[in-house]
Amino acid sequence: MNPLIKTTQRVADYGEVLTPPHIVKAMLDLVAQEADRIDSRFLEPACGTGNFLIEVLQRKLRVVEKRYRRSQLDYERYAVVAVSSLYGIDILEDNAEECRQCLYETFDAAYTALYGDKTKTACRESVRYLLKRNIVHGDALSLQTVGENPQPIVFGEWSLVNGSLLKRRDFAFHEMVQQASMRELPLFSDLGEEVFIPEPVKEYPPVHFLELAHAFADEL
Ligand SMILES: C[S@@+](CC[C@H](N)C(=O)[O-])C[C@H]1O[C@@H](n2cnc3c(N)ncnc32)[C@H](O)[C@@H]1O
């Protein structure tokens, strides 16, 4: 079976043809500086099983390992930041779940290889929690979740503050997309142009990066 195509019906219904690794790598090489920056945020609005996000995470984790491997706590902190920077949406639930699982395994393999039996359950739980939140089973066209009770897609922005704390601010995806296009302003600019700065729909007190799953347990 061609691993880039699951069924011809899914190709017809959802355009599901996954991108082969050599193309993923070549495309990410075009933005290599960003893909290597631990906290640069990537959103893939039709993420499939995560081919692009997995490669970005591998690149970021290599940087984390190079810089911080001598301190396990530093490695954990920045590995969690790397995971928190990745966002995906897929309309097919099995793809969203496979994407989360593949990202988790990418993190877990790197983490376990470095620290073996010194690895922490709390760190794995933070990563699992972030992937549950950041990888959304949703429709990137309607900008809503998919299911019995569709809701606007809301993404959490995670920023490291005061050393080990993560500050979460939630943003409604439709506001970011619509406001930016209505005002014809870019969301990002390296050239010093005016950019659209969205307003969060909710802010949370900072939480230790190893306590995310516990602090937001009611969402899981
Ligand atoms: C061409 S595949 C690309 C997958 C992945 N980005 C890759 O390159 O391997 C398109 C993906 O978009 C998803 N998809 C189709 N319509 C979508 C929509 N309206 N919102 C979110 N995802 C959608 C499909 O389920 C499929 O996984």
Could you tell me what percent of the chain has a pLDDT over 70?
A: 95
Q: Which of 34, 36, 39 is nearest to 161 (CA)?
A: 39
Question: Positive or negative CA dihedral for 74, 78, 84, 90?
Answer: negative
Residue 131: pLDDT over 50: yes
Residue-level pLDDT at 103: 98
Distance CA 50, CA 47 (A): 5
Residue-level pLDDT at 183: 67
Q: Residue written as tokens 């014809």? A: 184
15 Cα–ligand 1 center, Å:
7
Confidence band (pLDDT; 50, 70, 90) for 54?
very high
Would you mind telling me the total number of residues written for the chain in this entry?
220
Residue 93: pLDDT over 70: yes
Q: How many CA atoms lie within 13 A of 33 on its CB side?
A: 0
Residue 1: pLDDT over 50: no
pLDDT tens figures, 179-214: 767 767 776 666 777 777 889 999 999 999 999 999
Give the mean pLDDT of 28-44: 97
Higher pLDDT, 199 or 104: 104
Confidence band (pLDDT; 50, 70, 90) for 220?
confident
Query: CA 62 → CA 56, 59, 78, distances in Å?
Result: 10, 5, 11
Confidence band (pLDDT; 50, 70, 90) for 129?
very high
pLDDT tens figures, 69-88: 999 999 999 999 999 999 99
Contacts of residue 61, defined as CB under 8 A and 6 or more positions apart, other chains included, come to 79, 82, 106, 107, 110
Q: Is 145 in the pocket of ligand 1 (CB under 6 A)?
A: no
> Ligand 1 atom closest to Cα of 142?
19
Q: Which of 42, 44, 37 is nearest to 61 (CA)?
A: 37
Residue-level pLDDT at 165: 98
Give the mutation target among 25, 44, 90 for probing the ligand 1 site: most ligand atoms within 8 A of CB: 90
As a whole number, the mean pLDDT across the chain is: 94
